[in-house]
Amino acid sequence: MRLVEPAEAPSASSGAESVAAEPRAEAPKPEQSMAGAISALPDEQLVALGLKGNVAAFETLYRRHVAFALHLAIRIAGSNRDAEDVVHDAFVKAFEKLSELSDAALFRAWLGSIVVHGVRSRMRRARLMKALGLGGYADPVEIDSIASHAASPLVRAQIAQVYALLQTLPTDERIAWTLRAVEGHELETVAQLTRCSLATVKRRISRAQQWLDEHFVETGADQELSS
């Protein structure tokens, strides 16, 4: 005796209509999933992938650190002129010499030293051109590039005066002082960025500070430089 009647099998047409009526969730493309996973990796792993030629790892390192590199170049130079070129060259050099990075976790600091060296080279070349009578040396200070928009007119004037005085200093002293006093880096970090000893950094900063103290003209009440 049959206790349960078998369920009626759906026709081929009704099955097709059922499937068509339910929209399917589109699966993420493999390359999208991989890019998302790579973007979340720490620098150390990105460097390891980059050494294997992984383009997505290179792109992630660039996106993660390009703002830092631009900010550093502009603050040292006092203007954004050539800053993008300096940063572009720095990334190219970093990727070409990635195998020379001893500690992959320190990619950002290593990149920073390449940026500093690039700015330094341009400053020294410009000074040489000036000495040879082949061009001007000092680029005009671009206050909007280095001062906070909230800074008062007095503070902006002080910043302009400081950068104008810095342009008269030897390049190495100018860079060391800027990294310490403007960017606020620790002395050890300044030494790493400038690729010199701690004693040399202290000496350069001291000479620059003495020059500024002797030539800076107060334009009003003492105020801190705005970052």
Start-end of CATH 1.10.10.10 domains in the chain: 141-227
Report the candidate in 159, 158, 200, 141 with the shortest Cα–Cα distance to residue 176: 200
Specify the residue for token string 């078998």: 6
The confidence score (pLDDT) of residue 34 equals: 59
The confidence score (pLDDT) of residue 219 equals: 64
CATH for 141-227?
Answer: 1.10.10.10
Distance CA 77, CA 178 (A): 9
Average pLDDT of the residues in 199-226: 82
Contacts of residue 116, Cβ cutoff 8 Å, sequence gap at least 6: 72, 76, 175, 179, 193, 194
Distance CA 135, CA 50 (A): 40
Average pLDDT of the residues in 1-20: 44
Start-end of CATH 1.10.1740.10 domains in the chain: 36-139
Higher-confidence position of 86 and 39? 86
Over residues 17-33, the pLDDT tens digits come to 444 445 555 554 555 55
Query: Is the distance from CB of 68 to CB of 112 less than 8 angstroms?
Result: yes
Distance CA 47, CA 107 (A): 8
Specify the residue for token string 């620790």: 186
The confidence score (pLDDT) of residue 3 equals: 38
The confidence score (pLDDT) of residue 12 equals: 45
Report H helices in 30-105: 30-39, 43-51, 55-77, 83-96
Stated pTM of the model: 0.75
pLDDT classification of 138: cutoffs 50, 70, 90: low
Over residues 151-189, the pLDDT tens digits come to 888 988 999 899 999 999 999 999 999 999 999 999 999
Using a 10 angstrom Cβ sphere, with 0-12 exposed, 13-18 middle and 19 or more buried, the burial of residue 103 is exposed
Over residues 36-70, the pLDDT tens digits come to 688 889 999 999 999 999 999 999 999 999 999 99
Question: In whole numbers, what is the pLDDT of the chain averaged over residues?
Answer: 83
The neighbour count for residue 91, using CB atoms within 10 Å, is 18
Report the candidate in 69, 78, 68, 85 with the shortest Cα–Cα distance to residue 175: 78
Domain 36-139, CATH class in plain words: mainly alpha
Residue 6 has pLDDT above 90, yes or no: no
